């Protein structure tokens, strides 16, 4: 995947996430808040991570990786983003 293809794919991913109600934060990550859960899509230089916010017993919070893959392997199928076997 060359730089132009990568930039186009990233733009498509960001547009799809925005259209589905995901909000971009100041770090360039996308978050979606459900009534009881918060999800995040973290876009890195060559990879993408789909994460869930986890609250521990002591009320500290961490992000848990649900699925991740290289950008070259992420598929865009009919306005959905497919990371391995998960559709966003």
* Residue-level pLDDT at 67: 93
pLDDT in tens, 49-78: 999 999 888 988 899 999 999 999 999 988
User: Structural domain tally of the chain?
Assistant: 1
pLDDT, tens only, 7-51: 899 999 999 999 999 999 999 999 999 998 999 999 998 999 999
CA angle (57 as vertex; 53, 58 as ends), nearest 5: 95
Give the residue numbers spanning the domain of 70: 3-87
Contacts of 31 (CB under 8 A, 6+ apart): 22, 23, 25, 38, 39, 40, 41
pTM assigned to the model: 0.84
What does the block give as tokens for 2?
A: 């060359």
pLDDT at 2 over 90: no
**What integer pLDDT is reported at residue 88 of this predicted model?**
83
């Amino acid at each position: 995947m060359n730089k132009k293809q990568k930039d186009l794919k990233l733009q498509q991913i960001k547009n799809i996430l925005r259209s589905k109600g995901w909000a971009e934060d100041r770090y360039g990550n996308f978050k979606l808040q459900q009534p009881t859960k918060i999800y995040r899509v973290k876009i890195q230089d060559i990879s993408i991570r789909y994460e869930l916010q986890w609250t521990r017993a002591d009320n500290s919070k961490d992000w848990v990786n649900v699925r991740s893959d290289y950008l070259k392997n992420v598929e865009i199928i009919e306005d959905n983003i497919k990371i391995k076997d998960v559709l966003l």
